[in-house]
């Protein structure tokens, strides 16, 4: 399970931590989903971050270019003193995976205790290639794919996203769910019910029952029961006992 990266022997275990990501088309209830999941035991998810994964993706592409150059023109990469010299291990694909996992583990959630589930929600990962990159970098991750069944024409223009763009993103996310059914949970805004969120907790392996949907935005409301205030003292979940997740249980 341990991956080696860097010439100085930096090592990481890509299976060490548990991850959960909310990937959304936007204006589909992702903030409400974030609020609900963060009230579950041991779940510690952060909000949007302007697509930081895309920066790691660009780094991965640059490393891949260097690695491929070493395959095609080894005299320019593997000969010490050459202009593009690198040791083979420094351009391994897992190098970026290790860096990305380390960064997100340190910069999401409020605790780094064993058994905590880290992750985030984001609306800026809109291509299959980006999602596949995330799936490879976080092999233990689960993905909540959050979209609308019907995209409104006017509302999305307020986000500087056309309805057509959002429909295309929704289609991409739905196709990705089909290809990763073992790791993804499809959550439509129109299905924001206590039953569906209870199914989501069960899918995560956390024995909790949703008592109401704690909406973060009033415009997300579809069908009840709902609680529109976000009082931190009011927990929308009832869990069995003093449950704390562990890596073996998720």
> 154 φ, ψ to 5°?
-85, -45
**C-alpha torsion 125→126→130→134, nearest 10:** 50
Q: How far, in Å, CA of 10 to CA of 44, rounded?
A: 26
Closest among 243, 237, 230 to 32, alpha carbons compared: 230
Q: How far, in Å, CA of 143 to CA of 5, rounded?
A: 26
13 strand-pairing partners: 2
User: What percent of the chain stands above pLDDT 70?
Assistant: 73
Closest among 130, 167, 157 to 53, alpha carbons compared: 130
- DSSP 8-state class, residue 226: E
Q: How far, in Å, CA of 249 to CA of 18, rounded?
A: 10
192 contacts 32 by C-beta, under 8 angstroms: yes
Give the mean model confidence (pLDDT) for residues 155-184: 86
Judged against a pLDDT cut of 70, whether residue 156 lies above it is answered with: no
What's the pLDDT band for 63 if we cut at 50, 70, 90? confident
Q: How far, in Å, CA of 197 to CA of 179, rounded?
A: 22
Closest among 140, 146, 110, 148 to 33, alpha carbons compared: 146
What's the pLDDT band for 215 if we cut at 50, 70, 90? confident
Q: Which residue has the tokens 């995976």?
A: 97
Q: How far, in Å, CA of 197 to CA of 180, rounded?
A: 20
Query: What are the tens digits of pLDDT across the range 12-38?
Result: 889 999 999 999 999 899 999 999 999
- Give this prediction's pTM: 0.84
């Amino acid at each position: 399970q341990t991956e080696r990266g860097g010439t100085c022997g930096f090592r990481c275990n890509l299976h060490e931590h548990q991850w959960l990501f909310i990937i959304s088309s936007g204006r589909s209830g992702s903030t409400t989903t974030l609020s609900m999941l963060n009230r579950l035991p041991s779940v510690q998810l952060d909000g949007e971050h302007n697509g930081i994964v895309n920066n790691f993706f660009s780094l991965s592409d640059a490393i891949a270019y260097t690695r491929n150059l070493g395959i095609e023109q080894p005299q320019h990469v593997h000969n010490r003193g050459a202009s593009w010299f690198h040791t083979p291990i420094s351009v391994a694909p897992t190098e970026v995976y290790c860096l990305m996992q380390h960064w997100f583990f340190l910069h999401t959630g409020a605790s780094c205790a064993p058994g905590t589930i880290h992750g985030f929600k984001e609306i800026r990962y809109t291509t299959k290639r980006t999602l596949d990159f995330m799936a490879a970098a976080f092999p233990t991750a689960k993905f909540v794919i959050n979209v609308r069944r019907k995209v409104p024409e006017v509302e999305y223009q307020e986000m500087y996203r056309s309805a057509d763009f959002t429909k295309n993103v929704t289609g991409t996310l739905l196709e990705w769910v089909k290809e990763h059914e073992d790791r993804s949970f499809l959550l439509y805004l129109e299905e924001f019910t206590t039953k569906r969120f209870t199914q989501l907790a069960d899918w995560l392996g956390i024995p909790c029952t949703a008592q109401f949907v704690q909406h973060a935005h009033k415009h997300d409301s579809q069908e009840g029961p709902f609680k529109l205030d976000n009082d931190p003292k009011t927990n929308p979940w009832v869990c069995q006992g003093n449950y704390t997740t562990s890596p073996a249980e998720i």
